[in-house]
Copies of this chain bind each other. A is one copy, B any other.
């Protein structure tokens, strides 16, 4: 959907020229602001139900005493996820995108005044659940992180390649379900590497702890994410 369809009754799409160019310009502004404050920013992208929020809540519990983290939550509707994040004690802002299928750089910018940016080391943005559209919209993040649940099937990186092409890390989730699925893990790894040969793949399960140390280590130390504390 375009960003211009405000409700399902709209039948004539209002035109904004240069939607992506305008988004890129704002994303640069976001990136400059975040960079000037020494904040490392990651943008979590996946289908609905991959387990972004569940992984995020567990991650926050583990890192919040060593890193100062803020979260921006994107959903079409509801603030359920922001409530789950808030229970960890981490500052969080919920964006409800309504009909829009992805976060935009401007929406993220508007969250900045509601977060204690000057006191943050890391900003984690959880995008709207969508394997496709969020990939095209730069939010000013340092890294896009693709999540893929093993319940979704090993073919998804080939069918929806853009995100896997752009991601610096692919996190596989729900590894605890492997014995119950017809899922070829090695084939999945090959499919990811076919799209992005050098991408790092971290295989996780929040419930049995698989790969969580590696994931937490990545969030804490990767590419200059260092605590200000």
Does A2 have its Cβ within 8 Å of any Cβ on chain B?
yes
A129 at the B interface (CB under 8 A)? yes
Give the CA-CA distance A160 to B74 in the complex, in Å.
12
Interface flag for A89 (CB, 8 Å): no
Specify which chain B residues have a CB less than 8 angstroms from the CB of A40 in the assembled complex.
Answer: none
Which of B12, B20, B78 is A11 in contact with, Cβ under 8 Å?
Answer: B20
User: Is the CB of A203 closer than 8 A to any CB of chain B?
Assistant: no
If A21-B12, A128-B132 touch, does A153 touch B99 (CB 8 Å cutoff)?
A: no
Q: Which of A151-184 contact B (CB under 8 A)?
A: 151-153, 155-156, 158-162, 174, 177, 180-182
Contact of A49 among B3, B153, B161, B177 (CB under 8 A): B153
Closest to A153 in B: B49
Interface centre among A17, A75, A102, A159 (most CB of B within 10 A): A159
Q: Could you say how many copies of this chain the assembly holds?
A: 2
- Residues on B with C-beta less than 8 A from A86 are none
Interface string of A122-149 (1 = CB under 8 A from B): 0000001111110010000000000001
On chain B, the residues within 8 Å of A20 by CB distance are 5, 10-13
Residue A80 at the chain B interface, CB threshold 8 Å: yes
**In the bound complex, what is the Cα–Cα distance between A209 and B143 (angstroms)?**
42
Residues of B contacting A77 in the complex (Cβ-Cβ under 8 angstroms): 158-161
A118 within 8 A of B: no
- A interface residues with partner B (beta carbon < 8 Å): 1-3, 5, 8, 10-13, 15, 17-21, 24, 47-49, 75-78, 80-81, 99, 101-102, 128-133, 136, 149, 151-153, 155-156, 158-162, 174, 177, 180-182, 207
A-B contact pairs, 28 of them (CB 8 A): A1-B136, A5-B20, A8-B136, A8-B162, A10-B20, A12-B17, A12-B20, A13-B17, A13-B18, A13-B21, A47-B48, A47-B129, A47-B152, A48-B153, A49-B151, A76-B162, A77-B160, A81-B159, A99-B162, A101-B101, A129-B156, A130-B130, A132-B133, A133-B133, A151-B151, A151-B177, A177-B177, A180-B180
